[in-house]
Amino acid sequence: MSAGVSRAGGAPRGLTKRVLVTGGAGFIASHVIVSLVEKYPNYTIINLDKLDYCASLTNLKTVSEKENYKFVQGDICEPNFIKELFESEKIDIVLHFAAQTHVDLSFWHKLEFNYVNVYGTYILLRAAYKANVEKFVYVSTDEVYGGSCDKEFDESSPKQPTNPYATSKAAAECFVQSYWERYGNRKCCIHGSGLQKRNFLYAGDVAEAFLTVLKKGQPGEIYNIGTSFAMSITQLAKELIHLIKNTSSEAEIEHWMDYVKDRPTNDMGYPMNSGKMYSLGWKPKVSWKEGIKKTIEWYQENFHNWKNPEKALEPFPIAGESA
């Protein structure tokens, strides 16, 4: 389905986050969009809706001409369309309301309810994961818990849906949770004690070093490209976790650390003298603080440049497993 956009051109300057709200022309979601547009004028709020029988853009007339609001007509079940939407709109946050919701109809249209509510959610999850969105909020229903006259449900209550609509929402909820368990809840693996130290250079400084060798290096000479700045793997993990997870305490940082069995050999450090490189006129320019932030940003934007990049985050294979 081709997208129908209510506003022409790109986002106005000064807008920071880009929030995608699916099913935004529905009753609840339209109220959420109005609140977002009015309370977050520095956010671009993108309303994605197929405009099915239960949708109405009239719900959004109070914000339809706002500079930070944009409407896109489209189907969450179309993978190519969703992929292109995430790429072109640079989505940061997803609020997923879109669904077939009329319980009565679900008894006669089970396949359609499962297709939209389960498959559509999967398509969005996959696109959001590949786009490395900051947050994915899935909107479920109280009906996933089943019926009760006196027992109060909490978030840990088992799912016991009693109708096709609730069943499809529960299944989609499981999809979302599985994505979180596999990709969003991954801890930082540290081999062995974590006391090993490594010297770190920013990639741009390394590139400049090679250009210096090409231009000024002498044939037959060996040049150590390095720095005196060193850090333990444990400290590196803590700094990465703090910057990526925006932690507020040491205990929160420790929660994301997982010490695993060390690989067969793991040297404690590689201190090098790079005086010969310095004599050629090269020295590192980018500080650790600046370099690590730039490196994190680069990986967040380019993580999926490789096939199965998650494999690089797994611990060293245990004995008996093929490498």
Answer yes or no: are the C-beta atoms of 256 and 245 closer than 8 Å.
Answer: yes
Beta-bridge partners for 22? 48, 96
Is 165 part of the annotated catalytic residue set?
A: yes
Is 143 part of the annotated catalytic residue set?
A: yes
Per-residue model confidence (pLDDT) at position 14: 64
- Reading the block at residue 156, the tokens are 């840990």
- Reading the block at residue 295, the tokens are 């490196």
Distance CA 3, CA 75 (A): 9
For residue 40, the SS3 value is coil
Beta-bridge partners for 69? 45
Q: Hey, how many other C-beta atoms are within 10 angstroms of the C-beta on 219?
A: 4
**Which member of 142, 152, 155, 321 is catalytic?**
142
Q: Identify which of 156, 60, 55, 171 has the alpha carbon closest to the alpha carbon of residue 120.
A: 171
Residues 166, 126, 314, 251, CA torsion sign: negative
Per-residue model confidence (pLDDT) at position 63: 94
**Which member of 49, 89, 143, 208 is catalytic?**
143
Do domains 17-184 and 188-303 share one topology? The answer is yes
**Which member of 138, 165, 202, 223 is catalytic?**
165
Select from 3.90.340.10, 3.60.15.10, 3.40.50.720, 3.30.1330.10 the CATH code of 17-184.
3.40.50.720
Distance CA 187, CA 171 (A): 26
Per-residue model confidence (pLDDT) at position 50: 92
Cα atoms in the 13 Å half-sphere on the side-chain side of 217: 16
Residue extents of the structural domains in the chain: 17-184, 188-303
Q: pTM value?
A: 0.67
Is 142 part of the annotated catalytic residue set?
A: yes
For residue 33, the SS3 value is helix
Select from 3.40.50.720, 1.20.1250.20, 3.30.750.24, 3.50.50.60 the CATH code of 188-303.
3.40.50.720
Per-residue model confidence (pLDDT) at position 117: 86
Tens-digit pLDDT string for the chain (323 aa): 334 444 434 445 567 899 999 999 999 999 999 999 999 999 999 999 999 888 899 999 999 999 999 999 999 999 999 999 999 999 999 999 998 887 877 788 888 888 898 999 999 999 998 888 889 999 988 788 888 888 888 888 888 888 888 888 889 999 898 888 777 777 888 999 999 999 999 999 999 999 999 999 999 999 999 999 999 999 999 999 999 888 899 999 999 999 988 888 889 999 999 999 999 999 999 999 999 999 999 988 887 777 777 777 777 765 444 44
